[in-house]
Amino acid sequence: KLLLHALDALKVDNVVVVGQERLHSEITRDFRHKRVGGESMAEGTPVRVWKLNKSGGVVERSPEFRRKSRDNKIKEYFYGTPGAELQPHSQ
């Protein structure tokens, strides 16, 4: 519902859904007769929903892997990489 509200509030006229069949069908159903950019509902551009398949090399990652990766990137951003000359926590 939050995504649908954001799409409506931002007056999005093209939506690309990658690898999510259920999400694609929900957005298509909810935006079937909507138009954006006109003064009335008869004017404007119809909302288009595009579905793309995931490419063959896509690997699903677990939530724990994504969390650890995110935490490491945040740590690297604030403290630098080990062995680098400039590390703000050591100055």
Q: Kindly report, residue by residue over 24-62, the tens digit of the pLDDT.
A: 999 999 888 888 776 665 678 888 999 998 888 888 899
Cα→Cα distances 21→7, 24, 31, 49, 50, Å: 18, 5, 15, 12, 11
- Residue 91 pLDDT greater than 60, yes or no: no
CA gap 69, 67 in Å, rounded:
5
Distance CA(20)–CA(58), nearest Å, equals 13
Residue 90 pLDDT? 53
